[in-house]
């Protein structure tokens, strides 16, 4: 169960090597989290991440999980929930893709869409049902500022995140009143391996800042969290910029 500050005792991360997710896990372990499940594609990085969290004092397990294999989600995630209550699920898997390349390679583009969107639809539904059966817990989903308005420079990723974002909002409404809390997190540019080598946009931030915002969102039971918070106002304005002008903005 969570404590009075909303800190989970048990945490399940889907996308177990995500730098944002691991920064969040470190922060929550420093508070109260004692058990962590890292679900992800098997790799030395996944095992290293687990060893690191164990070193911080959390009992940490790794589980093979592939967002692109939705048929397996029910079984894999079901086994985790069968081990005991999960207070927080963090959906952190995702891929940016290479927009210029993917526009010429539709199969690669579909992989971006499936990883970011449909993978989260199946995993999200399975986790939502399990959380509802428990009667408590938070489902936290890493969307993106890119979900807010499709941009020329990354509309394949952005459109998948838009689908994910809308899905998560709807799921939050579906679970309202059940005791389960659903939170959409919309970071801007975060300095992680996903964005390494890409030009930074303004208001660039860190995985630690996203972790801090997630912790605060848990405490407040927020439905939407922007990181940094100023992006909420920036995007409220950008959303209404006419397309002929929006197209010319260096975004
Ligand atoms: N960095 C940013 O600027 C930024 C901004 C907004 C939102 N986000 C979102 O935040 C989330 C975490 O990103 P991050 O910055 O922490 O990047 P990251 O460190 O590159 O993490 C991405 C994660 O996705 C996992 N993944 C990719 N494809 C997968 C698949 N088919 N099955 C299972 N896992 C898969 C990766 O696992 P492997 O180790 O197996 O590759 C990795 O754990 C993503 O959803 C991303 O879209 C990031």
State pLDDT tens for residues 60-107.
999 999 999 999 999 999 999 999 999 999 999 999 999 999 999 999
- The C-alpha atoms of residue 210 and residue 183 are separated, in whole angstroms, by 13
**Average pLDDT rounded to a whole number, residues 133-150:** 96
- Of 81, 117, 157, 189, the catalytic one is 157
Q: What is the CATH number of the domain that holds 59?
A: 3.40.50.720
63 assigned to some structural domain: yes
- The DSSP line for 155-218 is HHHHHHHHHHHHHHHHHHHHHTTTTEEEEEEEE-SB-STTTTTSPPPTT-B-HHHHHHHHHHHH
Asked if residue 148 lies in contact with residue 97, where contact means CB atoms within 8 angstroms, the answer is no
- The C-alpha atoms of residue 56 and residue 43 are separated, in whole angstroms, by 21
Q: Could you report the per-residue pLDDT of 11-65, keeping only the tens digit for each?
A: 999 999 999 999 999 999 999 999 999 999 999 999 999 999 999 999 999 999 9
115 lines ligand 1 (CB under 6 A): yes
121 assigned to some structural domain: yes
**Average pLDDT rounded to a whole number, residues 122-142:** 98
Q: Which pLDDT does position 2 carry in this prediction?
A: 73
The three-class DSSP label of residue 48 is helix
Q: Which pLDDT does position 184 carry in this prediction?
A: 98
The preferred substitution site among 15, 17, 160 for testing ligand 1, maximizing ligand atoms within 8 Å of CB, is 15
How many other C-beta atoms lie within 10 A of the C-beta of residue 137?
A: 28
222: left (phi over 0), alpha (psi -120 to 50) or beta: beta
Task: Establish whether 157 is a catalytic residue.
Answer: yes
For residue 140, which of 18, 3, 32, 248 has the smallest C-alpha distance?
A: 18
User: Taking 70 as the threshold, does the pLDDT of residue 183 lie above it?
Assistant: yes
214 assigned to some structural domain: yes
4 assigned to some structural domain: no
251 assigned to some structural domain: no
Q: Which pLDDT does position 54 carry in this prediction?
A: 98
234 CB-near residues (< 8 Å, 6+ apart)? 203
The three-class DSSP label of residue 49 is helix
105 CB-near residues (< 8 Å, 6+ apart)? none
- The C-alpha atoms of residue 189 and residue 203 are separated, in whole angstroms, by 7
54 assigned to some structural domain: yes
At 4, the pLDDT band (50, 70, 90 cuts) reads: low
Give the atom of ligand 1 at the shortest distance from the alpha carbon of 96: 47
Per the structure, the complete domain to which residue 202 belongs is given by 10-246
pTM as predicted: 0.97
Q: Which pLDDT does position 249 carry in this prediction?
A: 87
Tell me the backbone φ, ψ of residue 14, rounded to 5 degrees. -100, 110
User: Taking 70 as the threshold, does the pLDDT of residue 191 lie above it?
Assistant: yes
25 assigned to some structural domain: yes
What is the number of domains present in the chain? 1
- The C-alpha atoms of residue 16 and residue 65 are separated, in whole angstroms, by 9
Tell me the backbone φ, ψ of residue 120, rounded to 5 degrees. -80, -25
Asked if residue 126 lies in contact with residue 77, where contact means CB atoms within 8 angstroms, the answer is yes
5 assigned to some structural domain: no
User: Taking 70 as the threshold, does the pLDDT of residue 108 lie above it?
Assistant: yes
């Amino acid at each position: 169960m969570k404590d009075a500050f909303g800190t989970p005792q048990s945490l399940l991360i889907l996308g177990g090597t995500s730098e944002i997710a691991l920064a969040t896990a470190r922060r929550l372990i420093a508070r109260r989290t004692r058990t962590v499940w890292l679900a992800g594609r098997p790799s030395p990085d996944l095992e290293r991440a687990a060893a690191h969290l164990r070193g911080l004092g959390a009992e940490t397990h790794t589980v093979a999980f592939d967002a692109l294999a939705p048929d397996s989600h029910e079984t894999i995630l079901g086994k985790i929930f069968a081990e005991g209550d999960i207070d927080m699920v963090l959906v952190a898997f995702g891929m940016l893709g290479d927009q210029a390349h993917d526009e010429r390679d539709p199969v690669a583009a579909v992989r971006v869409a499936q990883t970011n969107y449909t993978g989260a639809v199946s995993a999200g539904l399975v986790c939502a049902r399990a959380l509802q059966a428990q009667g408590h817990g938070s489902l936290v989903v890493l969307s993106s500022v890119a979900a807010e308005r499709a941009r020329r420079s990354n509309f394949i990723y952005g459109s998948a995140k838009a689908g994910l974002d809308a899905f998560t909002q709807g799921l939050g409404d579906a679970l309202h009143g059940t005791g389960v809390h659903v939170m959409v997190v919309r970071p801007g540019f975060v300095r992680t391996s996903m964005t390494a080598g890409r030009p930074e946009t303004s208001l660039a931030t860190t995985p630690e800042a996203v972790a801090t915002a997630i912790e605060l969102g848990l405490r407040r039971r927020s439905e939407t969290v922007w990181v940094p918070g100023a992006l909420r106002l920036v995007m409220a304005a950008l959303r209404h910029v006419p397309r002929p002008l929006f197209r010319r903005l260096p975004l």
